[in-house]
Amino acid sequence: MPQNLLLRTVQTKHAPSAIGPYSQAVRVGSMVYVSGQIPLDPVTGQLVKGTIEEQTTRCLENLRAILEASQSDFSRVVKTTVFLKNMDQFTKVNETYGRFFKEPYPARACVEVARLPQDVDVEIDCIAVCEPIA
């Protein structure tokens, strides 16, 4: 496998640690694949139990920290997936999401699910372009 295609894991203390056999993110070449983030505060280790806007903000702040550790940012995100426990909360989640992303917006899927880890209301993952590994 060419050197620039080697898989490398990304780990930062500014986002929640993986709680299973997975990585916060994996880099391959100039792409980073960020695992789904739930509203878990990396400092306290506690779930954000506030409004759906507060929970969504925490998810996106966790994504931001992992993107930064990957030499990327929200302007380089090409795809996100939003998982919601209740699609009735879509408008509020969408408004919060819109404060983090600017045009050109990434592609996105949003799906309602029966259950998420730790019974949270929202989880978000993403794929982004990052600086090539030297």
Residues of the chain with pLDDT under 50: 1
pLDDT of residue 19: 81
pLDDT of residue 116: 95
Which residues are catalytically annotated?
110
Rounded CA gap, 29 and 43, in Å? 30
Task: Give domain limits for the chain.
Answer: 3-129
Q: CATH number for the 3-129 domain, one of 3.10.180.10, 3.40.50.2020, 3.30.1330.40, 2.40.50.140?
A: 3.30.1330.40
Rounded CA gap, 47 and 41, in Å? 6
pLDDT of residue 134: 61
Question: Could you tell me how far CA 44 lies from the centroid of its own chain?
Answer: 19
